[in-house]
Structure 1
Amino acid sequence: MAKRKQVGKRVEGWKAKSWYKVYSPEAFGKTYIGDTISADPEKVSGRVLQTTLGEITQDYGKQHIKMRFKVNNVAGDAAYTEFVGHEITRDYMRGLVKRKTSRVDSIVLATTKDGKKVRVTVTCFTINRAENSQIHAIRATTMKNLLDTAAQSTFDEFSKMVVSGDLAKETFKAIKTIFPVRRVEVIKSKVVTPVTIMA
């Protein structure tokens, strides 16, 4: 059977795709953070882009904070995102570690007042080496502070506190009453998506 001849010009590859400008959430100023390309707008939703807080705020002292955003809405050639997590670079963390001190990590699953769950990793650097009982007290205080703060904040408010350093400052104030601390950092966060169980 003879092949059917194509009528008109066929558009292939990159020419068939469109570019979309990607913006951060309103909590982070709806800042332009990059571009993504797709032939189908529906396939843009769900994509995750990474940038730094320094790029968003134009404060290059914040380049060590890596931010992750997921596209949740596409309108025309614009793609809007939601915050899904952050992480501090290893190089920056390495510079915070000192000898004869303790590093106390706490992993807390916090729920905001609008029902979003965020897993937060907080690291406390002490001035002197802490004993086990003191480490337990630091972790308990950290957990209480995070859970209380999240419960009183919307997701947007809480995510902004996490990456801006405000949550670390509040945690520092709470911990220093029980043990001398040098620094507190929220080194990682991740939004926990609920798993749908099929009946």
Structure 2
Amino acid sequence: MAAKKKIGRKIEGWKAKSWYKVYSPENVGKVYLGETVSDDPAKLIGRVMTAPLSELVNDYAKQNVKMKFSITEVAGDAAYTSFIGHEVARDYIRSLVKRRTSRIESIVNFVTKDGKKVRATVTCFTLTRADQSQQHLIRKVISEDVVKYGTENELGVFVNAIINGEISKDTFRKVKELYPIRRIEIIKTKVDLPKIQK
């Protein structure tokens, strides 16, 4: 009898919950991300949703990139999100590492034009092994270029520039003038959103 009562309470609890459709931000196409359930829409605020970039832009080549969003607004049965970061799959990054070359990583912090605090991790893959002074110079150019772009633009513009590769291409051209490189990737970002009272 006790077991039956427990099952009954569980079913009743689910009946009290509602499903909400979750969407990506407008600057990322306001794409349907999936559904989530809650007994109170206020409890959805801050909930994190993830999706492969390939699904957002309909490009299978971008399946190695995971986008992260946090629910910031609920209207009816729809939940809207803000971008809070992205990350490139580690297996994919490892596949880009070649023998007798250098992988140079830079971590930069900046505040976007619309006041969002961002931390970005940028990785550069060289064609030949770079010495310490060359790596230092490459990091300097990458850091300056990414920070300049980030501070001069709003977060939405910065995110789109990651998606379409604009920042990586621009930085690649500048670094290539100093040292032979194969690729530059912004492999990870994290956005600090202000805490929202639920």
Name the aligned partner's letter for residue 65 of structure 2. I
| Higher helix proportion | 2
Distance 1:14 1:46 in 2: 21
Name the aligned partner's letter for residue 36 of structure 2. T
- Alignment RMSD: 1.3
SS of structure 1 residue aligned to 2:149: helix
Q: Which residue of 1 aligns with 2:169?
A: 169
Instruction: Check the 8 A contact 1:101/1:126 in 2, yes or no.
Output: yes
Matches within 5 A, 1:67-78: 67-78=67-78
Q: Deviations over 1:64-86 (max 9, x none)?
A: 00000000000000000000000
Query: If the length of structure 1 is used for normalisation, what is the TM-score?
Result: 0.90
- 1:47 equivalent to 2:47? Answer yes
Matches within 5 A, 1:11-90: 12-90=12-90
Tell me which structure has the larger Cα radius of gyration. Answer: 1
Q: Deviations over 1:79-138 (max 9, x none)?
A: 000000000001111110100000000000022111111100000000010010000000
Q: Which residue of 2 aligns with 1:4?
A: none
Distance 1:180 1:111 in 2: 30
Instruction: Check the 8 A contact 1:52/1:67 in 2, yes or no.
Output: yes
SS of structure 2 residue aligned to 1:95: helix
Segments ≥4 residues shifted beyond 6 Å: none
Distance 1:194 1:21 in 2: 23
Shift of residue 58, structure 1, vs aligned partner: 1.6
SS of structure 1 residue aligned to 2:150: helix
Distance 1:193 1:21 in 2: 22
- 1:93 equivalent to 2:93? Answer yes
Q: Which residue of 1 aligns with 2:103?
A: 103
Name the aligned partner's letter for residue 108 of structure 2. V
Instruction: Check the 8 A contact 1:163/1:186 in 2, yes or no.
Output: no
Shift of residue 60, structure 1, vs aligned partner: 1.2
Q: Which residue of 2 aligns with 1:137?
A: 137
Between the two proteins, the alignment pairs up a number of residues equal to 185
Identity of aligned residues (%): 53
Query: Please, which runs of 5 or more residues in structure 2 have no aligned partner?
Result: 1-10
Name the aligned partner's letter for residue 192 of structure 2. V
Q: Deviations over 1:36-56 (max 9, x none)?
A: 000100001110001110011
Distance 1:81 1:47 in 2: 9
